[in-house]
Amino acid sequence: MMFSYLVLMGIVCLCSTEPLRRHKRSWIIDSFDIVEEHLGPFPYDLGQIKLDRSYLVEFMLKGKGVDEDPKGVLSIDPKTGVIKVHRKVDYEQYSVLMLTFQARNKSNLAVDTQLGMEVNILDINDNPPVFQRKVYDVTIEEATKQGGFIVGVLAIDKDAAGTPNSTIDYKITSVTPTTKNVEFYMQKSGAISFKGCFDYEVANKYTITVEAKDRGVVKLSSTASIIVNLQDGNNHLPVITGQTGSAKVLEGTNGTSPLIIQAADADTRLTAAWRVRYSIQGDKGGHFSIYTDPDTNDGILTVVKPLDFEEKAEQKLTIFVENEESYFSCEVKERSADGLWTIITNPAKPSSRDITITVEDANDPPFFLDPVRKVILEENGVVGAFVDKVTAVDPDTGRRHKLEYSIDQEPAGWFRVDKTTGEIFVKESLDRESSHVTNGTYTVTVLVTEKDDHPPMTSTATIQIYIEDKNDNVPLLKENMISLCQSDEVSHAEITAFDLDGDPYSGPFSFEIVGDHKKEWSFDPSHGTTVHLVKDKSVHTSLYTLIVKISDKQGRFVLQNLSVALCDCVVSPNCLTQRNTQQKVGSGMKGITILAVLMILGPDYSTEENICKSLKGCNSCQLWDSTDS
């Protein structure tokens, strides 16, 4: 039992200016001490308070431990002043009890003395350190480097702070499983780290038991478990183990898979450390691709661009394999008691395999050495003239086929081709103004066929023939019959000409009236595509046939009849209708039977037949005499 108390001291205050009299004394009490968790027996005496009085006093205590929590710990004998302890106290709940001591005059119950009193609870080591968690569960990557932080633990001791009873020491008591490549260690702060190299395939989980112990006279401790889960990393390289498939490809095909590559990996299945990527070396033409089967890790080699047997009968490739996740290496070279261990790393060496793909020959179609050719020919050229020559070859090296040429598309039928040599000749005269000619260009398609193959293989070539224009067409009137209203003044009508030839063999044209009516009729202007036919005011109503000379820019001209109906528009707005209802064209007329005369077209256009052909739109080769009305 431990207790202590201070001797009470009385202080008497005397005042010299007053009659001498007795004053109340003041008392000071320091403290008492109680050891927590005292085993008894109870009650036991803590101490005694004495007062020097000539009269009887009664002692009282109140406050914590008496009438305040923790109630019933202390009591005082009202007569003797002996303080007793009735039960134990927990330091962690109440480290000090604050009380009030009173002494009363027993005769009148007046408070004689009132003092403050402290009872200190002395701590003992009755609390072990307690971890914040009973189990710590952490996950770290397999590739974590030694010395790295894994987890930190913390224990709390409720005993008095700053005393040995609450000072904690940590240590690792066990590790399961025990592996030679890893050693865990614990710092004073409770942080756990490791030395060495993790290997998921050796151990994917560790259970560490840690202890926290205080430094009390009787040391108290507790334990916690730390579960360290490893997340598998890529510390095992994939290895190509085999291949299946024919390794043969038919030339000219794609989408086929001639080969499947097998690979093995020791890392956890279906993780990025296990999944592989294949690559191809030596595929200069970009004919192949390889993709990974996500379930098996097999590499499927596929043809994405057709191969040519004649170009290369074998394709030599190298297949490489690597993981999706970056590779890491860690190997313990030397262990040391102090400090980290010596670690070495090995660079990645991807697994590879050389393969040969055999290209199988297939019947290739013939092809033209020059599939598009351009030729220039003159219009109206000589029939039978040589135009061009197309040449096709058979690419197959192991077998040669007989080739035959033919015209495939040629709408006008102007050309023919020699089926053996591929020479093209003019079969009929070319007309640049034909509807089959577009912007002066005529297109012929030539077909080449392997005659001794089943089914026959074919190919085509295109001949673009530009036809040079010749001045082989004369200008013509757009209309060869017009009407004009009679007037006492000069009047006119529009006349338009056209020419099937192109520039510079067409308009603008020169217009001129020839023959008997050139004094009464004229053109103003006389040059252009559309001009005005002007009537003199002296001309009377009648049907006139004018001979019009129309010349193109090269001076090539034609004489063409133009029928002009001059009538009184008051009687009928349509002179031609009025004329037709009164009299048939040609009745009563004198038979001047030339529609176009003196047509000067050159040596090939001097006949009347050619004149009429040039005057497309004319119904006959007759010239009506306008003198007969």
In the CATH hierarchy, which fold is given to the domain comprising 130-231?
Immunoglobulin-like (2.60.40)
What residue type is assigned to position 5 of the chain?
A: Y
In 3D, which of 507, 517, 585 has the Cα closest to residue 547? 517
Q: Would you list the domain boundaries of the chain?
A: 31-122, 130-231, 239-360, 367-468, 476-614
pLDDT in tens, 229-271: 999 999 999 999 999 999 999 988 999 999 999 999 999 999 9
> Which has more pLDDT, 186 or 453?
186
Going by the DSSP 8-state scheme, the letter that residue 420 receives in this structure is T
In the CATH hierarchy, which fold is given to the domain comprising 239-360?
Immunoglobulin-like (2.60.40)
In the CATH hierarchy, which fold is given to the domain comprising 31-122?
Immunoglobulin-like (2.60.40)
CA-to-CA distance for 564 and 568, rounded, in angstroms?
13
Asked if 386 and 427 count as a contact pair (C-beta separation under 8 A), the reply is no
According to DSSP, the β-strands at 135-141 and 221-231 are: parallel
Identify the residue whose tokens are 């590790």. 175
In 3D, which of 80, 62, 57, 81 has the Cα closest to residue 72? 62
Query: Where does the pLDDT of residue 400 fall: very low under 50, low under 70, confident under 90, or very high at 90 and above?
Result: low
Asked if 207 and 226 count as a contact pair (C-beta separation under 8 A), the reply is yes
Helix or strand holding residue 582 (H, E): helix 575-582
Neighbours of 281 (CB within 10 A): 12
Residue 575: predicted pLDDT: 59
Going by the DSSP 8-state scheme, the letter that residue 454 receives in this structure is S
CA-to-CA distance for 625 and 628, rounded, in angstroms?
6
Neighbours of 606 (CB within 10 A): 12
Going by the DSSP 8-state scheme, the letter that residue 288 receives in this structure is E
In 3D, which of 350, 349, 297 has the Cα closest to residue 319? 350
Q: Is the pLDDT of residue 519 over 80?
A: yes
CA dihedral for 370, 375, 380, 386, sign (positive or negative): negative
DSSP string over 64-77: BTTTBSSTTSEEE-
pLDDT > 90 fraction of the chain, expressed in percent and rounded: 44
CA-to-CA distance for 9 and 85, rounded, in angstroms?
25
Query: Where does the pLDDT of residue 608 fall: very low under 50, low under 70, confident under 90, or very high at 90 and above?
Result: very low
pLDDT in tens, 410-435: 999 999 999 999 999 999 988 878 88
Mean pLDDT for 483-495 is 79
Q: Going by C-beta distance under 8 Å and a sequence separation of 6 or more, which residues neighbour residue 580?
A: none
Q: Is the pLDDT of residue 627 over 50?
A: no
What residue type is assigned to position 325 of the chain?
A: E
Asked if 192 and 226 count as a contact pair (C-beta separation under 8 A), the reply is yes
What residue type is assigned to position 299 of the chain?
A: G
Mean pLDDT for 287-313 is 93
Beta partners for residue 61, in sequence order: 101
In the CATH hierarchy, which fold is given to the domain comprising 476-614?
Immunoglobulin-like (2.60.40)
According to DSSP, the β-strands at 31-35 and 111-122 are: parallel
Identify the residue whose tokens are 């898979």. 257
Beta partners for residue 62, in sequence order: 100
DSSP string over 552-621: -TTS-EEEEEEEEEEE-TTT-S-HHHHHHHHS-TTTT------SS-S----GGG-SHHHHHHHSTT---S
Q: Do domains 130-231 and 476-614 have the same CATH topology?
A: yes
Look up the CATH superfamily of 367-468.
Answer: Cadherins (2.60.40.60)
CA atoms within 13 A on the CB side of 136: 23
Residue 29: predicted pLDDT: 62
Most confident of 146-150, 559-563, 606-610: 146-150
In 3D, which of 255, 246, 253, 247 has the Cα closest to residue 362? 253
Extract the runs of DSSP E, i.e. beta strands, from 308-371.
Answer: 314-323, 331-334, 342-344, 351-360, 367-368
Query: Where does the pLDDT of residue 571 fall: very low under 50, low under 70, confident under 90, or very high at 90 and above?
Result: low
Query: Where does the pLDDT of residue 397 fall: very low under 50, low under 70, confident under 90, or very high at 90 and above?
Result: low
SS3 170: strand
CA dihedral for 124, 128, 129, 131, sign (positive or negative): negative
DSSP string over 303-316: E-S---TTT-SEEE
Provide the residue count of the chain: 629
pLDDT > 70 fraction of the chain, expressed in percent and rounded: 84
In 3D, which of 371, 277, 381, 253 has the Cα closest to residue 325? 277
